[in-house]
Structure 1
């Protein structure tokens, strides 16, 4: 039997989250510290303290570290509520890349790495970066990894250039993927002040809701001890998939919340704005766009819940998460586009958050793999 009822405790927490985001976080959307490169560190710290006071900081963390130990399905409900403002996940410390990095570190860290890196992240005191994408190497095809790690005595020396590294500027914890010579792709863990990490520049991008933006980073003779290896040498691709399958879904959850907010704003405007003798929502062209949005939002929600249910059953969920990521990212972008259209001229301005949501949802179609790569993986699976 299929049951779509949300457990009472989860529903009540989602209501608390939605009220917190609406009352405490939405007003910050006009704060000048929300820059073209994302929220400043100062703004992030202020938002985190608000969530801490409400007992809503890092709710997805394992129980042993003070979190709720949510199932994936419970996360879907809570993260959607947090995403009502694009700053909501920043405040609650459940935004990318930290949310996915916390998940990965909680699975494969040593006790020493947990104490140094994971606990401060869960407590909201530090941020992280996951350095994989390269300008001429790893990206949609991680097999093209060109950053190298060489064993030199008892240390590893890493050289290479990465780009589009979210949150690099100011990140205190770094997860670095490099091709360990004679072994294979390996993850390394270090602090952001380690000599050899050079942030060359923060890239100008269309989205602006990730602290630190997206950077070009040079690893220049970055020397790390053997204790910096994260997990087992040569297993980086397996760990990346461990991280990415649920991370694709949490992106979808958060952006479902943002798209629902855009729809709410468009619906309210369509009720108030009159043209040609009646509210524009009563004109079929506008009404149909809002109806299409409502259908798409519910379809996205149910797809997310289905994939979460799959993961909660103990399955790997790679195929399911690829289906959800490719479908949901495309449909939510269309939702935001229609909301801009309903709002007319005001939709392309910053008078409402809809324009910002639209830009971020366009970028979301590329996060954690573009639609085309996921469809390629889906096709390969069904043809095998």
Structure 2
């Protein structure tokens, strides 16, 4: 638990930045070359350090971005690069680091935080819980021979970036949990750390209808796999054209590989279902402000319901207590009070919020308490496609 005496904040000088790099080398086996590239890309103002005995004991990076829920972009704080120096491990340093961060960003008004965990118990202590998955999709080249070349395909230019971002948003806003990308996330798509990416788009009468960013990842004997950092299509003809373009690499290409959700739309067009979809990593979410988070997301249009909640939160007393959630026509209003018919910890609220697990499943495992009628309301309000994410951060 954080204390008033914790020395927490951004780096003060180059000496502390060097200490962060040292922690990253210990924590993530980063090479000096990796660290040089990291420093060049990093906004040092987004680093947070915890100091003990005058030394940098732990570090993390935060990223202010958006995440789509119910068709609305919810402001979220992404957390990454969490590391503790070896000599400060085993004394609660990482927990105190996370607690300080969460208090800072909640005070700023952030309703939600997300991260990819290297270890889940640490983040559960801070109030995070499993909330979605990132899935690896592999399609053999032989499955991509779709014979569609109707739309024009060309290399992406810098002037296309706004149209491509709009193309992404048209689809991503309907995918629960996907990022509402900013400059950082788009840079990860177009300029990953270790590979050269090439971008291509397809155009129709209305402009950009789809695009792909890909790297050719070498294998043995001149073979390679196509590693897609992003691929989107807003029309069926664009989807078939992009799949045909990927299939044109069949002479030396083995597979096309990308990330997303288990319900990847492009897979519906394949003639044979011989692809693989496997869980690559779970991500976790933390509700920072119960009322703000519930009011920020979108809800089923035309649906109505009233849910009485009672929330427990070990870190934020402000979140403790009873709430009435009233949903109508795609929006929510949250007030204090009510009957507390659905009782749950803030961790389980995160799982319910994203749609990762239903209220019925949570009750079956003893993680929430509520009567059948209350759980039916929760199911109706929170039910939707499985939450996933394409991007790492």
State the TM-score, normalizing by the size of structure 2: 0.29
Q: Which has the higher contact order (CA 8 A, sep 6+)?
A: 2
More helix by share: 1
More strand by share: 2
Structure having the higher Rg: 2
State the TM-score, normalizing by the size of structure 1: 0.29
